[in-house]
Structure 1
Amino acid sequence: MAYTDFQDFLAYLEKMGELKRIKEPLDPYLQITEVADRVMRQPGGGPALLIENPVGSDIPVAINVFGSRKRMSLALGAADLEDIACEIEALLKTEVPSGKLQAMRELAPKLGVLAKIPPRHAKGPGRCQEVVTTGDQVDLFRLPILHCWPQDGGRTITLPLVFTHDPQTGRRNVGMYRVQVYDRCTTGMHWQMHKVGAEHERAAALQKRPIQAAVVLGGDPALTYAATAPLPPGLDELLFAGFLRKKPVTLVPAKTVALEVPEDAEIVIEGWIDPQERRMEGPFGDHTGYYSLADLYPVFHVTAITHRRNPVYPCTVVGRPPKEDAWLGKATERLFLPLLRLNLPEIVDINLPVEGVFHNIAFVSIRKRYPGHAFKVMHALWGLGQAMFTKMIFVFDADVNVQDISECLWRIGNNIDPERDMCLVRGPVDVLDHASRALGFGSKIGFDCTRKGPQEGFHREWPDVIEMSQEIKAQIDALWPKLGL
């Protein structure tokens, strides 16, 4: 299911009883955060909110639109995230067909899907450019940009899709990097050292020239998710969004920079960055639940703000979990499991607990086939893209339900000998890890929580888990209605 734009998605959420309108004026300075935080902590993640009268702006604020499994699934046009995961798994199957007829039957549906996903290019202007402000008329403070937490360094755009191009190859990237407002036409650009946006900036520095960027707000929610997804190098986020929505993303030329932007966006902020210029950005109340500290980051100079005639401002707040971003992370966990199995077919399931804030904890179950297999999986995960940031990996046998944290903790406590089953390594860590020895560099640990055998130095008998016999269970099932319990 493809939405015509972000407001179409909001209308669908309202129709499904998933959106609550707030008419009471709320201040983007802290008040909206407090309301959203209380709602996000409600059972099931609470409703999406449309704050119609934010103080200081005539643009409504939408928040918590991705804040439940149901809404995250609806955002990607599916009844449930697992449906998309199954579709990806089917697309990735590479069994050799027995003949030409079978090949045509198997490949035709896949090729049909792939033919629909490349972005389309329109000459413009788009709906995102119904109102255009440039030069001295640019004023970021017209937007209801949130000041999320008391110690934040300033108002921050929290749900931006940042469009850049590699100055050497021209290849596009769409990332989600927070944007802190300094004044009416200048912001920070918080792309961390490991991110593609930072790579593009470094390439521009080698050429001694500025890098152009566009900060996009809104559009089809599939594209917002795609900007957060840990895609393999070279895979365009717009292609992935096209796959998710079964319809291409339509692009139009930006007004003041040589970039294309989504035609259906709510708001677009255009500008440039000088790779030689740095300014203190932060602190910021981050998704770890702690403030990320102030540091030097690139400066984004705004040349234009374009928007629809009656836009909605999409945003989120992050902080101590659970928050809305937990479901963006869970979508990645489910959708990228089939891709993970391409390299590691022994993996049965993976759980990135919300409390682990995406990169601190991973529970993984595998079909163990040989001694040390769990350690092989740990090292493989640490070598795969953003999985390299995972601070603690716990590997279990295939029969363990890693989605059940209670079972995982029980198995961890019973199945490991810390000295024998621990693997400690050094390497890149998330820049937001405030406990690491240095910014972006520290240590990671893995634990083998599987059953051990003689080849792994375990020469005792491994005991069975306590379970009642099936015969007795059946007897009590028959008696249960009579017991009054």
Structure 2
Amino acid sequence: MYRSLNEYIALLEREGELVRIGAPVSPVEEIAEITDRISKMPGGGKALLFENTGTEFPVLTNMFGSERRMALALGVGSLGELSARIDGLLKEAAAPRTSLTDKLRALPMLAEMARWFPRTASGRGACQQVVHTGGEASLAALPVLKCWPADGGRFVTLPMVNTVDPETGVRNVGMYRMQLFDDRTTGMHWHIHKTGARHYDACKRLGRRMPVSIALGGDPAYTYAATAPMPDNMDEYLLAGFLRRRPVKLVKCITNDIYVPADCDFVIEGYVDPAEAKGVEGPFGDHTGFYSLEDRYPLFHVTAVTHRRDAVYPATIVGIPPQEDACIARATERIFLAPIRMALQPEVRDLSMPEAGTAHNIAVVSIDRRYGGQAVKVAQSLWGAGQMMFNKYMLVVPSGTDVRDADALARFVRRLDPVRDVVRSEGILDVLDHATATPGFGGKIALDATAVDPGAPVPDIPALPEGFRTDLLEKWGVALAFAEPGACVRVPGGVKYLAVFDSAAAELTARELLWLAAANTDPRRDVRAEGTALVIDARSKRPGAGENPARFPNVVTASEQIVALVDCRWAEYGLGAFVESPSRRYRRLLLSGGAQW
């Protein structure tokens, strides 16, 4: 695969997937605003290489921001090739082997699998061509981004955080954002559900300082693997080896015993001391499209910074979708569907997590239905499986349905009984979910469409009173209303679904409203049956009122000043025709001038 991030950049350039920006740009908000405009273009725009960042290092953004670039990053012509490869591998591994001949036929497969395991090397790697330790180990030299105006500071957004279980010695590579507090201290934003947090708790029990090393760049397969929902105690570098078809070569860090990829671009070495008081981290404009607000997280202390001589600093921008994280999620769908079918739910045929759901909130699953209630079993099982436990809304459809075809899905939703065919539950939610009053825990809903005839007749479209939007009524059966929080909205007769939004959202598209509804609701509080209709209250939640959360965040938008700056400088960037700032569209949703209401 790729021997460096620069090698991947060269491929992107040859394939017409990269734009170099030679004009001077600031890592403070300007790079993020440019990237946000490009990443929301049809097809995800281009990858962007900012060559003049005020530091010695260029910045690469949007490198995974299209399905084509995601496939290029993983060394395949299409993501479907990964699905076929994994399906074939698992079928071969599970095939019965009753004879010696059958067993001998498995040897080539076993030999190939053995080649994926990471390997350690002596000496230093390319990532250690330049070494800074002690007082010279400063993060000030790196072009770390501040993305949004209410962010608490600059954040490392694509870190591969390497930790080791102190009790078993098993390695984990996760991706946890890191806020810079000073030149040698950052926050370590690992949630309670994450493996890094479990390693931290184990070190705390043992009274040990926790070594941590952060790798940046190198083969894009490393970065993807750090985001992947691998089972606990499974090595992410093994997944990277599978994707690369060759093992990851690891070298020992300079100031701790962690091993990192030899060919990555940067390594930030250091430690977390569990005996030390946690620091206040955030706010941060997050992938949910809202700010995640201040909270307390462990402090990471830098002991060394090493890098390649030709290092490129990789970064991602998250915020209101679509962003490049949606393309990463599509790769995860393709890579992990086969293991889900084999190990967890053999009746599952396909799985999609639409970009409006920002990774977790919405899932569409097709299954082979053989008996009544099977969709309930599938939903409950998936809600207990790895990162699927964070899902809030699930639509279960029969096999043969294209789970990515909105028209096909609408035929089922339109004909559902929204009261009878609803499966309700409670469970774990993402810590970043801002709608629930109990952080990390809330409601879940599945719509069981597996017994629905998509060709059955539907009731006549009702005539709605003035003030309701009807553009989703004929296709989806959904009426839209817009009112201030707390105002009463009656369900019109003949309506199956009513979704109520803030008045400021009245001009958003259907896709944008789906994102807002999934983000702003806790199904146990905000989704109710009213007669024969299902009502979804997707309005902002006044903090502390009734069962509302104690804090409620703002949507993520650029400041008027940075939007005006990028408007003025657009021709300098060499990006072609002018692209309007998405933030102009979403500023009407702001509830205040800061990160929260």
Q: Same fold (TM over 0.5)?
A: yes
Residue 426 (structure 1) aligns with: 426
Structure 2 residue aligned with 1:327: 327
Kindly provide the CA deviation profile for residues 107-138 of structure 1, in whole angstroms up to 9, marking residues without a partner as x.
13321320211111111211111111111112
Q: Which residue identity lines up with residue 139 of structure 1 in the other structure? A: S
| Alignment partners' CA distance in 1, 2:195 and 2:223 | 16
Render the CA deviation track for 1:38-81: whole Å, top value 9, x for unaligned: 11011111111111001x31100011111111110111111111
Q: Give the residue type in structure 1 aligned to 2:10.
A: A
Once residues 199 and 425 of structure 1 are traced to their aligned partners in structure 2, the CA distance between those partners, rounded to angstroms, is: 26
How far apart are the structure 1 equivalents of 2:131 and 2:349?
51
1:340 paired residue number: 340
1: CA distance between counterparts of 2:237 and 2:310? 25
**Structure 1 letter corresponding to 2:446:** G
How far 1:202 sits from its partner (Å)? 0.3
Tell me the equivalent position of 1:89. Answer: 87
Structure 1 position 101, deviation (Å): 2.0
Bigger Cα displacement from structure 2, 186-195 vs 405-414: 405-414
Counterpart residue type for residue 378 of structure 1? A
State the distance in 2 between where 1:65 and 1:464 align.
Answer: 42
Across the aligned residues of Structure 1 and Structure 2, the Cα RMSD in angstroms comes to 1.3
Deviation at 1:463, TM superposition (A): 8.0
The SS at the match of 1:257 is coil
How many residues in Structure 1 have an aligned counterpart in Structure 2? 453
- Residue 331 of structure 1 aligns to a residue whose secondary structure is helix
In the alignment, residue 255 of structure 2 is paired with which amino acid?
T
Kindly, what percent of the aligned residue pairs are identical? 50
Alignment check: 8 A CA contact 1:289 1:321 kept: yes
Q: Measure, in 2, the Cα distance between the counterparts of 1:112 and 1:15.
A: 34
Provide the residue aligned with 1:154 in structure 2.
Answer: 153
Letter in 1 for 2:421: D
Counterparts of 2:345 and 2:454, CA distance in 1? 29
CA contact (8 A) 1:132 1:305 kept: yes
Deviation at 1:411, TM superposition (A): 1.3
User: Tell me, what secondary structure is at the counterpart of 2:327?
Assistant: helix
Alpha-carbon distance in structure 1 between the residues aligned to 2:108 and 2:79:
21
SS of the aligned residue for 1:328 comes to helix
Instruction: Please say if residues 113 and 243 of structure 1, whose CA atoms lie closer than 8 Å, have aligned partners that are also in contact.
Output: no
Q: Which residue of the partner structure matches residue 361 of structure 1?
A: 362
Partners of 1:100 and 1:464 in 2: how far apart? 52
Relative to the length of structure 2, the TM-score reads: 0.74
Matched, 1:386 2:387: yes
Which residue of the partner structure matches residue 491 of structure 2? none
Q: Which amino acid aligns with 1:4?
A: R
Shift of 1:464: 4.0
> Would the aligned equivalents of 2:87 and 2:338 in 1 still touch at CA under 8 Å?
yes
SS in 1 for 2:326: helix
When normalised by structure 1's length, the TM-score is 0.91
User: Equivalents in 2 of 1:35, 1:463: separation in Å?
Assistant: 43
Query: Distance between the aligned counterparts of 2:364 and 2:80, measured in 1?
Result: 18
* Corresponding letter in the other structure for 1:52: E
2:8 is equivalent to residue 33 of structure 1: no
How does 1:184-223 map onto structure 2 within 5 Å? Answer: 184-223=183-222
1:428 Cα offset (Å): 1.1
CA contact 2:411–2:454 (8 Å) conserved in 1: no
Using the TM superposition, give the Cα deviation of residue 5 of structure 1 relative to its aligned residue in structure 2, in angstroms: 1.4
CA distance in 2, matches of 1:274, 1:236: 24
Report the AA paired with residue 337 of structure 1: L
Given residue 409 of structure 2, which amino acid in structure 1 is its aligned partner? Answer: C
Structure 2 unaligned runs (5+)? 458-597
Q: For the Cα contact (< 8 Å) 2:411–2:455, is it kept in 1?
A: no
- State the partner residue of 1:232: 231
Determine whether 1:302 maps to 2:302: yes
The one-letter code matched in structure 1 to 2:8 is F
Where does residue 578 of structure 2 map in the other structure?
Answer: none
SS of the equivalent of 1:268 reads: strand
1:122-201 equivalence runs, <5 A: 122-201=121-200
State the partner residue of 2:3: 4
Tell me the residue number matched to 1:109: 108
Structure 1 residues not aligned, in runs of 5+: 453-461, 467-485
Counterpart for residue 543 of structure 2: none
Letter in 2 for 1:184: D
Higher mean C-alpha displacement, 427-436 vs 108-117: 108-117
Partner of 1:312: 312
SS in 1 for 2:27: coil
User: In the alignment, what sits opposite 1:458?
Assistant: none
Confirm whether residue 19 of structure 1 aligns to residue 18 of structure 2.
Answer: yes
Tell me how far apart the structure 2 counterparts of residues 341 and 238 of structure 1 sit (CA, whole Å): 23
